[in-house]
Amino acid sequence: MIKSLILGIVQGLCEFLPVSSSGHLALFQYYFGFDTENLVAFDLLLHLATVMALIIYFRNDIISVIKEWFVGWFGKHSNGWTYGWAILIATFFTGGIGLSLRDVVDKMSSSPVLVSLGLIFTAIILACVPILSHNRQNSSLLKAAIFVGIAQGIAVLPGVSRSGMTIAASLLMGMGVHEAFKFSFMISIPAILGANLLEGIKMLKSGESVFLPEGYMIAFLAAFILGITSLGIMRKLVASEKWVYFGIYCFIVGLATVLVNII
C-alpha cells in the first residue's frame, strides 16, 4: 500500500510541475520492482485523478470556451470560438506525433537511462525558458497552437516534461505568462483523456485481467489532491519565471540515474 501511495504522490506532484510525471513514475516503478505491464490500469487511474484536478481547477474557463465555441457555429464569434479551434488544432498535432512515438515510448519507459536522458533534455528546455520569454514571435493563437501541439506531442516521451515543453513553446510564440499557463493546461485535457482512452481500449482488447495494487484508492486521492496543489504552485512558478530550480533538479536526477546505471 505504501508503494501505491508513493506513486500517487509522485503523479500528483509531478504531473503539472515541469519535471515529467511519466519519467518519475517510470523510475519509481522500475526501482520499486513493479511489473510495469500489470500497472496499466493503475497508471490510467492515477492519470484520471489528475485530469479531474485539471477540470475542476479550470472549470470556469472550460465552460466559457465550450459555450462560446458552440455559439460561434451560429454566427456569433468571440474569444472562445478561436480558443476552441486552437485547442482542437493543438490536440490534432499532439495526437499525430504521440501515436507515431508509441513504440519509442514503450522502449524508453523500461530503460532508466533513456528516461534520465529525457529528464536532462527537460533541464535544457527549462534553462532556455527565460531566453524564450524575451524573444517572442508574436504569432496568432491558431499558429501558436500548431507549434505548442507539436511540443506537447514530443512530451509523450518519458522524462520530457509536458508542461515545461508547452509553456516554453507558448512563450516563444508570443503568449504572456498567464496565457501560456492557461493554454498549456487547457490543451492537456483532451490530449490526456485521448491517450488514456486508447490505452484503456488496448488493455481491454488484450484480454488480460485488470490489476490494481493494494491501496489504489488512497493513491487516487493523493494524486487528485496534490494535483490541484501543484497547479497552484505551477501558476506562481510561471508568474515568477523561476524555472532554473526545476531545471537543476531534472538535471541532477537525470545525471544521477545515468551514473547509477552505468557504473
- Amino acid, res. 203: M
Check if the beta carbon of residue 106 is closer than 8 Å to that of residue 40: no
The pTM (predicted TM-score) of the whole model is 0.88
Q: Please list the pLDDT of the chain residue by residue as tens digits (263 residues).
A: 787 888 888 888 888 888 888 888 878 777 776 655 556 777 888 889 999 999 999 999 999 999 999 998 887 778 889 999 999 999 999 999 988 998 888 888 888 889 999 999 999 988 887 776 666 666 788 999 999 999 999 999 989 999 999 998 998 888 888 898 999 999 999 998 988 888 778 777 776 666 777 788 899 999 999 999 999 988 888 777 777 888 899 999 999 888 888 76
Q: Is 33 exposed, middle or buried (0-12, 13-18, 19+ CB in 10 A)?
A: exposed
Check if the beta carbon of residue 123 is closer than 8 Å to that of residue 247: yes
Q: Report pLDDT digits (tens) over 236-262.
A: 887 777 778 888 999 999 998 888 887
Q: Is 7 exposed, middle or buried (0-12, 13-18, 19+ CB in 10 A)?
A: buried
Matching residue, cell 503523479: 11
Domain that holds residue 212: 2-262
End-to-end Cα spacing for the chain:
32
Q: Which residues have CB under 8 Å from 39's CB, separation 6+?
A: 29, 211, 213
Q: Report pLDDT digits (tens) over 34-47.
A: 655 556 777 888 88
- Amino acid, res. 43: D
Count of structural domains within the chain: 1
C-alpha distances out from residue 98 to 47, 213, 244, 245, Å = 16, 28, 27, 28
